[in-house]
Structure 1
Amino acid sequence: MAWSTRQLAELAGTTTKAVRHYHEIGLLEEPERASNGYKRYGAGHLVRLLRIRRLTDLGVALADVPSVESGDEKARQILRDLDAELAADIERRQRMRRELAAVMENRAALDMPPDFRTLADDLPETQRSLLLAYSSILTPAAMAALRAQLAGPRRENLEAEFAALDEDAPEEVRQRLAERMAPDARRQHRDHPGLADLGLSSHRETPVAESVVAHALVEFCNRAHLDVLRRVHAILSEEETTESESDGARG
């Protein structure tokens, strides 16, 4: 008994369109036709079609099917490359599952770069948003340094006070806050000097990196926040100038 194209496709778990396509590209030999003009397929065609299905289900491209079937070194290389792609895809999906689990456990982790999710509860929303924006420009080494910085000793009360700073906070409040924040900023610059240089810490062109930092600060911080940060920078710059003058006098 012979089978029609439809019956062959059903037996192999594919479609008549796929069978015709395999004929067109030379993967599946066309059978002889019956007196009525219809194709009549046999067991050999079924086995061939099942073999094609198996290889394509494994991820082998149709164009590579003949090479893989040859069993030579080219076939082995194609399979090795495919295995490497599958391993990378498995790792990516496993990473996605870990990140989904973190988000299901703690919604705040959605606002953090993947490696920072354990810090989600400890950081204000504004800082989480800044970190996520910075992750688009910083190198892996710079992100690791930033993570180490945040995982170290921090004055959470001071961070909370800065986060809650009202846009109309008086100048004296801003100045006092900047003076209290300056020692922490000084220590962070000392322990992680590379983070202060976007040319070194970013994998983007410097103008692009600077635009990301500028836009993020303006959009996620109010005017009082930006003023306090400017004051902190001024304090540190003044200290560096004083130290340089002292070193020059001693020299």
Structure 2
Amino acid sequence: MHSSELARLSGVTVRALRHYHHVGVLAEPERRSNGYREYNVHDLIRVLRIKRLASLGIPLERMPDLLDDTDDDAQGLLDELDEELVRQIGHLTKQRDLIARLRDHNAAPDLPPELAPFLALFAATGLSPEMMKIDRDQSVLLAHLVGEDGMPHLANFYQRLSAPGLAPEVTRISERFARLGPDSTEQDVADLVEDFMTTFSIAIDDFAAAEPPIDLSGTADLVSEYTSALFNEQQSRTLKELEGRLGESKM
């Protein structure tokens, strides 16, 4: 039989047969005078065995010894495959759980699932779409910077901010910040900074004191780069003063 017939009978493609030849799991037969390779039923059986092994997840490079009955540890290979499947099932189960959590809170797929409930709560308090977008982007950035080990501390911080006593304050201060503009006075900026420190400094200090410590070196520069194109002069000055006050509170 020719390669096209072998491919049809075995349910693979001619390209797959060429790949089997290339990696050495299927011997390449001699070409006849007409230039075509000539296969037989033994080649068909070998291709069917290759398909069966591949369906179990066995890589092609591990197949020659199995196909030629020279592998003395076939059971060990099955154990390895089973362990890998257990890992994959665990990973897929975790992914489904994350998707379910995002669905429960009607959250965007790009949000860290651990923070989605709290961002949904802030949205429900009436936070403007513009501020919600900023909160989302900064949450994505912070989640990346704290890493997997720091995520529980970050989630706990968001949980504190979303508590009944603080969530309305988050919205109130955020909206005051959004209203800052050319007509805002120095006193408006100073009052907002003072209000922010009074309301959130304890929660921020507790987050900064997390154990093990969370390395946020370079975070200020990244946040500053992000906000520079979004905020006006008065808002940028407010953030600068807040950064200074927060730095003083750690000394």
> TM-score scaled to structure 1, two decimals?
0.71
5+ residue gaps, structure 1, are 242-251
Q: Is the 8 A contact 1:112 1:120 kept in 2?
A: no
- Quote the offset at 1:232 in angstroms: 4.2
- Quote the offset at 1:147 in angstroms: 0.8
The C-alpha deviation readout for 1:46-87, integer Å capped at 9, x for no partner, is 2211111122233322222124454433x5555444444444
- Quote the offset at 1:24 in angstroms: 4.6
> Which is helix-richer, 1 or 2?
1
Match of 1:19 among 9, 13, 17: 17
Aligned match of 2:186:
171
Q: Distance in 1 between matches of 2:108 and 2:2?
A: 56
The C-alpha deviation readout for 1:147-204, integer Å capped at 9, x for no partner, is 1011123522221122222131333333223222213333124422346xxxx5238x
- Range with greater deviation from structure 2 (96-105 or 170-179): 96-105
**Could you say what secondary structure the match of 2:145 adopts?**
coil
Q: Is the 8 A contact 1:60 1:82 kept in 2?
A: yes
Aligned match of 1:149:
157
Count, aligned residues: 233
Aligned match of 1:45:
43
Aligned match of 1:245:
none
Which amino acid counterpart does residue 117 of structure 1 have in structure 2? Answer: A
Q: Distance in 1 between matches of 2:7 and 2:153?
A: 58
1:162 paired to 2:173: yes
Q: 1:90 to 1:17 in 2, by over 3 A?
A: same
Q: Distance in 2 between matches of 1:146 and 1:222?
A: 28
1:218 paired to 2:228: yes
Q: Distance in 1 between matches of 2:236 and 2:13?
A: 63
Q: Distance in 1 between matches of 2:21 and 2:42?
A: 14
- Range with greater deviation from structure 2 (44-53 or 115-124): 115-124
Alignment of 1:180-219 (within 5 A): 180-194=195-209, 200-202=213-215, 206-207=217-218, 209-219=219-229
Q: Distance in 2 between matches of 1:237 and 1:21?
A: 62
Q: Distance in 2 between matches of 1:108 and 1:234?
A: 33
5+ residue gaps, structure 2, are none
Q: Is the 8 A contact 2:57 2:81 kept in 1?
A: yes
The C-alpha deviation readout for 1:130-156, integer Å capped at 9, x for no partner, is 111122221323321121011123522
Which amino acid counterpart does residue 214 of structure 2 have in structure 1? Answer: S
1:7 paired to 2:5: yes
Q: Distance in 2 between matches of 1:144 and 1:230?
A: 28
**Could you say what secondary structure the match of 2:12 adopts?**
coil
Aligned match of 1:115:
114
What is the root-mean-square deviation in Å for CA atoms of aligned residues? Answer: 3.7
